[in-house]
Structure 1
Amino acid sequence: MIVNLHIKSIDQAEAIKTIKRKITDLDKMKIDEQKKAVRSGYDMDIIPSDLATYGGEAKNLLQDLQSRNERMFLVTFLVVNMANSKRKLDNDVFAAAGIAQKYNCALTRLDFQQEEGLMSSIPLGRNEIEIQRGLTTSSTAVFIPFITQELFQGGEALYYGLNALSNNMILCDRKQLKNPNGLILGTPGSGKSFAAKREITNAFLITDDDIYISDPEAEYAPLVNSLLGQVIRISPTSKEYINPMDINLNYSEDDNPLALKSDFILSLCELVVGGKEGLAPVEKTVIDRAVRTVYREFLAEPVPERMPILGDLYEELLRQPEPEAARVAAALELYVTGSLNVFNHRTNVELNNRLVCFDIKSLGKQLKKLGMLIVQDQIWNRVTINRAKKKATRYYMDEFHLLLREEQTAAYSVEIWKRFRKWSGIPTGITQNVKDLLSSREVENIFENSDFVLMLNQAVSDRNILAKQLNISPQQMKYVTHTESGEGLLFYGNVILPFVDHFPKDTKLYKVMTTKPEEVSSE
């Protein structure tokens, strides 16, 4: 099948004159019909419906040309059907006519004009068919084929599926973005974790970047083990410890690394103390004072043996005269000498692998947010070390919305989110609770500092907010409405692409990446 358009522009003044003449003719026909009605003895307002419709359309067309910056075009739309047999040709012609009729259009067979039709369809710029339809600029634009955007980069570009419009591969490198921070959003079962694992695998195989994962649901360990990575399981009964008080001299861009570390400790204490209002100003002051005191000895001689632990901060708070310090210390006691003292130890794990997963599922609900915050701080330490080596660090945070619920914790997390870019870090937040993410005060900062978004199927209540936040058109929203797993929209800088990524299920890689219960159990 060949589809061909011949579009001829009409002089604007001539087009307006022609339409005015047509309106005059229609008005004359209307008057004639009214006279006929009076002679026949029925209401003169009753005129043929076609006449009324054409009159209204002609007046609207004139208004478009005069005041809405529209122009007039003569359009010839040609469809050439070709087949190996007469029967097949007749069937194709019938099918094409049926499709046109479905959209209230009529295709006219060019009987005895086949040669002229064929010559008009060959790219010679000649139109030998005198069947034309007058259309305005906007109506003519409907026929222009939609030009799809493509994303096909070289170098360390990763594969993100196929362009749903052109079926071409999508290859892109987040490092080439002005701000490579990213989000993966979707409802349960839409393929969020799978998309993250897909990118992790590609990044591991194609780049030399270090890759770290905060895994609150123990979903990533099979993949990490298959790639010979390192899985660190942290729980109240584990013997693997990470120290929330760890710091290195490159922790911040400032000469004094304690400023940013103090923000982290304040966020940690806010989670520990709890309450709707968070920490009071006096409590923040005594915590900051205690932090500076406990690090004094380490900063004077930065050796591992002098690194403080949470218990040192607890004891220093008890020494402070303010009653607020005693309140914070009492809240910390459970995590220092109580049953949840898993974070009151010096770090005893070596992050000596390119691919590291922190499995914090066994921490339980009480410690999960605390664990996520501490893992984030550990990875920030690693980012600062890798920056000196001129090495990029990728960080994947599942259940990212949990870090944005408390004000202080959200502010610290967003501050780290902003700093990642300058320090060759590529963070990726993953969440199914889009509503919680959007309700955070810091959501504007998150989206403003994220040039990469992988959006999968979205809940009804979230679509409108996301459409406004990311400037998504109704047409584009169809790709995240009741879609299958692995289908959605990819935002890469100013480019928005609908994508499809159906991973072959008969592969070993699929079996270690899937989280569907029926497929995991049959492994």
Structure 2
Amino acid sequence: MLFHASKKDATKKKKNKKQKDPQTTLTITPAGKNVRDLLGYECMFENGLCRIEQGRYSVMYAFEDVSYQDRRYEEQFEVFSTYAEFLNSIDSDLDVQLLFNNRLVNGKDIKTSMCLAYSDDPNQELKNEYRREINTMIEKQVLSKTKSIERERYLILSTTAANKDEAEATLFRAGEAAIRKFEDMGSDMHFCSASERLSVCARILRPADDTSAASFSYEDLHANPTLCTKDFIAPACLDKIDAQTFQFGDYYGSVLSITKYARSVKDDILAAFSALPQNLVMSMHVRIIDQADAIDLVDSQLTDMKAEKSHHMIKHGQRFFYTEEMLPSNLKDGIKNAEALHSDIMNKDQKMFIQTLLFFTFARSLDELKHAREELERVARSYRYKIDPVFHMQRARGLKSILPLGVCAIPHERVLTTAPLAAFCPFISEELMQPGGAYYGWNQLSKNPIFFKRSSLAAANGMIVGKPGRGKSFAAKQEMTNTLLTERDASVDIIDPEREFSALARGFSGEIIHISSASKNYLNPFDISEDYSDDDDPLTVKTDFILSLVKEMAGGLSAIQESIVDRVCRIIYQPYFTSGKADDLPILSDFHKELLAQPEEDAHILAVTIERYITGSYSVFNHHTNIDASNRLRIWDLKDLGKQMRTVALLVVLDQVWNQIVKNRDQGVRSYFYTDEWQLLLKNDYAVNFYDELWSRARKWGAVPTAITQNIARVVQNEKARLMLSNSDFMLLLEQSTADADILRELLHLSDTQMRHIASKRKGAGLLVAGSKIVPFVNEFPQDTKLYQMFTTKFEDIRDALAR
């Protein structure tokens, strides 16, 4: 549906429109005709197609950044080659615009979208203090230390067509091809609706307030016949200040272009401009030259230069001896370059393009704008380019050329072949700035904060890996704290073999479950529910667990004894499945008693073998469970377990955690499950199988499992554990040993630059892996906080705290 500002069209639509909630109705003042005319398009279709002028149309796609600058050379070359293939695939009837919108992040926006919300519950006073400490840290580190930049990337395709249908067919087909190519480079790309496109325009033209476009709906046009789409994005004014500056709303802006090019192109030039801490829109327009026309053009230039060469030779040869070496250097270079260009086009799959590269920077004052221009000029000089304002063309031509419309009205052009054009790489480094996400520190490349939601991953399974003392448990506690403060119902279970998480439990009124021979915390290994398994019979799955448990207790089972255990389990569960009452759940002594009732001698031998778990020193598992299952935070403290009891206890604890995951799923609650010193569990086949099953089905069960380990070498020696590592979409990689770093290099295809981040001695620094993204981070947590004292395990910190 096309919308003009005409009263007739809007009135017609208004008849079928329901009344809008007055609270959501926008108050928009129509822009002046002179402002509308400068915005560079006629009208915007509701499906995202834009008619620039009669017979000229465009569409827009958004794409994500991917790591490029810190990748291995082989991977950079692969991205470069794929991008070159994309450029070569562009039809000659298409024009391309790549638009990069770098916005200085408003401090208020970060506070609104990233800081933790406080609770009105008076019982949350202590947790509100934790929230305040986190928010203060974010505000100090994010708002005062650096200017954070939010980077957006867009591809705009434009074409000439007789009508809307023809334009859609051409542009949407080209867009689908672009999506596939960018996917090959690891970049997600999606088509932008009209509302998305107008929002981008508003963020450029109304940087202080783009709420009107963000809330824009075509229903607003139906409701007000005097409005058109331009009124939702137009600034309050567009006034000329001088030949290189104009004012729009409360800002001053300037459009600049490359006026002198270097002989060669470095693939980090756009990254260098993007790193500038300023509001900056970069707009690169590309027009392909038809191959036949390109060859004719090069041949024509070559013919002209050779004719000039002959003229020089004849003219100067009449007076003295004259050789080719004596020709003007610019003529010799021109002939050489033209011959090389001809060869590239004919033999090396190179095409010719016309490129225009524009910059739009803006600031609240003229002095700030002057400084921003000087910074752009400084970066350009470092690459041997010259950049100048587009004098006397700022508003009439410059503005429309930096909007995501597919309009290029600036006549500053350069002819490039595929390879040098592909060197203007659209990728720099990946960002993780999800509103409402947990704070993980700083992106070491972009200096932007890292906010990320693990639940947004296809599979949120994760690992935290690093040498002892490099901050693994600290990072885990920080993540757990965010969960407990932001997800009201989520539960957190932690297997804690070294008693490193007790302070966290005390700080959040969690339950510490001490498991030992002297413990009064009882766990019944026979606990079961109807949903204990997914597709299989719950009793069958539970019997498999009891088999593993009894095998560990007895030091092994014969085939006959395995059959007996299976039989006994089915007998002792009958009362529970008949009544459904928790009091009828069997305990270990019921199992033992039924073993003695069996006729086989093997049953009696087994009963005697496990007797110490019934009445002896290990009878802690011969009781009904008495722990508080309602507590959101449970620490399973295994520190006091001896070696003989540790494996049995671990199996029982894993089973209890599984029961909690099942219960939580039935209630729609997410389960976070952390295992410290995970590498120690890999000796037990049941534990490995448990984690393997959990890793493969966690998302279905609403579980987010995390393994905390210091030894990747031991992990990869176990085939199933190696697969779990490969299938972990989330990783925090802190400082690694040389051997472990080499394993991670191979597994994750890390570059030398990325390897340096996990070899760093800086505590709290490393790589964050989130799906396909790998981001170098550093996390500096203020020590003068209650949370730091809760998280730290450094001996010096604990000693100082005790001294106070």
TM-score bucket of the superposed structures, by smaller chain: 0.7 to 0.9
Q: Which residue of 2 aligns with 1:230?
A: 511
The correspondence for 2:641, drawn from 335, 349, 363, is: 363
Counterparts of 2:658 and 2:639, CA distance in 1: 21
Aligned residue among 233, 238, 253 for 2:534: 253
Cα offset, 1:473, TM superposition: 4.1
The one of 678, 681, 686 equivalent to 1:403 is 681
Alpha-carbon distance in structure 1 between the residues aligned to 2:759 and 2:341: 36
Q: CA deviation at 1:76?
A: 12
Counterparts of 1:437-516 in structure 2 under 5 Å?
437-447=715-725, 449-516=727-794
Structure 1 residue 501 displacement after superposition = 1.6
Is the 8 Å Cα contact of residues 713 and 743 (structure 2) preserved in structure 1?
no
Distance 1:492 1:270 in 2: 39
| Gaps in structure 1 of 5+ consecutive residues | 26-57, 78-83, 85-91
CA distances 1:158-213 after superposition (whole Å, capped 9, x unpaired): 22222222222322222333222222222212211111101110000000212111
Please, which of 459, 464, 470 is the counterpart of residue 184 of structure 1? 464
* CA pair 148-96 structure 1, distance change in 2 beyond 3 A: closer
| Corresponding letter in the other structure for 1:215 | D
Deviation at 1:418, TM superposition (A): 3.0
Does structure 1 conserve the Cα–Cα contact (< 8 Å) formed by 2:673 and 2:706? yes
Distance in 2 separating the partners of 1:476 and 1:136 = 32
Instruction: Establish whether residue 421 from structure 1 lines up as the match of residue 702 from structure 2.
Output: no
Partner of 2:493: 212
Counterpart position of 2:669: 391
Match of 2:221 in 1: none
How far does residue 331 in structure 1 lie from its aligned partner after superposition?
A: 4.8
Tell me, in whole angstroms, the C-alpha distance in 2 between the residues paired with 1:514 and 1:454: 17
TM-superposed CA distance for 1:107, in Å, is 9.7
1:138–1:381 CA distance, 2 compared to 1 (3 A)? same
Q: 1:408 to 1:142 in 2, by over 3 A?
A: same
Cα distance in 2 between the residues matched to 1:308 and 1:335 = 15
Closer/same/farther in 2, CA of residues 189 and 174 from structure 1, 3 Å limit: same
Q: Distance in 2 between matches of 1:362 and 1:62?
A: 78
Label 1:390 to 1:129 Cα distance change in 2 as closer, same or farther (>3 A): closer
Counterpart CA distance in 2 for 1:297 and 1:13 is 86
- 1:187 & 1:248 partners in 2: Cα distance? 40
Aligned to 2:451: 171
2:549 counterpart letter in structure 1: L
Q: Does 1:149 align with 2:465?
A: no
Check the 8 A contact 1:243/1:343 in 2, yes or no. Answer: yes
Report the Cα offset of residue 220 of structure 1: 0.7
Q: Residues of 2 paired with 1:404 and 1:342: CA distance? A: 24
What residue in structure 1 maps to residue 631 of structure 2? 353
TM-aligned CA deviation for residue 508 of structure 1: 1.2
Q: Give the aligned length.
A: 484
Q: Distance in 2 between matches of 1:116 and 1:427?
A: 56
Change (3 A) 1:413 1:13: same
Deviation per CA, 1:2-50: give whole Å up to 9, x if none. Answer: 9986999998899999999x9xx9xxxxxxxxxxxxxxxxxxxxxxxxx
**Residue matched to 2:483:** 203
SS at match of 1:361: coil
Residue 308 of structure 1 aligns to a residue whose secondary structure is coil
In 2, Cα distance between equivalents of 1:388 and 1:264: 22
Matches within 5 A, 1:102-141: 141=422
Q: Is the contact made by 1:271 and 1:406 (CA closer than 8 Å) also made in structure 2?
A: no
Cα distance in 1 for residues equivalent to 2:736 and 2:616: 42
Local SS of the residue matching 2:524: coil
Name which of 620, 623, 629 aligns with 1:342: 620
- Partners of 1:211 and 1:491 lie apart in 2 by 22
Q: Percent identity?
A: 40
1:311 aligns with 2:589: yes
**Equivalent residues in 2 for 1:29-48, closer than 5 Å:** none
* Alpha-carbon offset, residue 514 of structure 1: 0.7
Post-superposition shift, 1:70? Answer: 5.5
Contact 2:592 2:607 in 1 (8 A): yes
| Higher RCO (CA-CA < 8 Å; seq separation 6+) | 1
Which of 515, 524, 529 does residue 243 from structure 1 map onto?
524
Are 2:546 and 1:265 equivalent residues in the alignment? Answer: yes
Partner Cα separation in structure 2 for residue 421 and residue 214 of structure 1: 20
* Structure 2 contact 688–721 (Cα < 8 Å) conserved: no
1: CA distance, partners of 2:565 / 2:256: 73
Aligned-pair CA distance for 1:448: 5.5
Match of 1:194 among 461, 474, 480: 474
User: Secondary structure of 1:443's partner?
Assistant: helix
| Contact 1:116-1:128 within 8 A present in 2 as well | no
Query: Measured at CA, do residues 76 and 239 of structure 1 come closer, stay the same or move farther in structure 2, by a change above 3 Å?
Result: same
What is the DSSP-based 3-state SS (H/G/I as helix, E as strand, rest coil) of the residue aligned with 1:160?
A: strand
Write the distance in 2 (CA, Å) between the matches of 1:510 and 1:261: 41
1:326-350 deviation line (CA, Å, top 9, x unaligned) = 6655553343333333223222222
- 1:432 aligned residue: 710
Look up the SS of the partner of 2:494 in the other structure.
strand
**Aligned CA distance change for structure 1 residues 106 and 509 (closer, same or farther; 3 Å):** same
